[in-house]
Amino acid sequence: MTESSEPEKKEQHKPQGPGVLKVMQSIVAGAFGVQSDKRREEDFSSHSPWPYIIAGILFTASFVVGLIVIVKLVLASQ
């Protein structure tokens, strides 16, 4: 009985989501407004929006913190 259940396990693999690099490329391209239609369609056909949502929030937060740090450094040097 174990032999018959093994092929079933091999056929039932989960579809993999987008990789970290692909998500980051999409987030940065979307932030600068240079996302291609093909890439946008690939992103929206993804099974789950959560990787993009989390990466977008992290990117936005780090961008804002980076701007605050730059402004404080510039103001402190005057």
Q: What is the pLDDT of residue 11?
A: 53
CB-neighbour burial class of residue 36 (10 A; exposed 0-12, middle 13-18, buried 19+): exposed
Q: What is the pLDDT of residue 36?
A: 86
Q: How far apart are CA 75 and CA 71, in angstroms?
A: 6
Q: Specify the residue for token string 């259940």.
A: 5
Q: What is the pLDDT of residue 4?
A: 54
Q: What is the pLDDT of residue 72?
A: 97
Residue segments in the chain with a per-residue pLDDT below the cut of 70:
1-15
Q: What is the pLDDT of residue 19?
A: 85
Contact in structure between 59 and 28 (CB atoms under 8 Å):
yes
pLDDT digits (tens, 9 = 90+) for 4-15: 555 555 556 656
Q: What is the pLDDT of residue 16?
A: 73
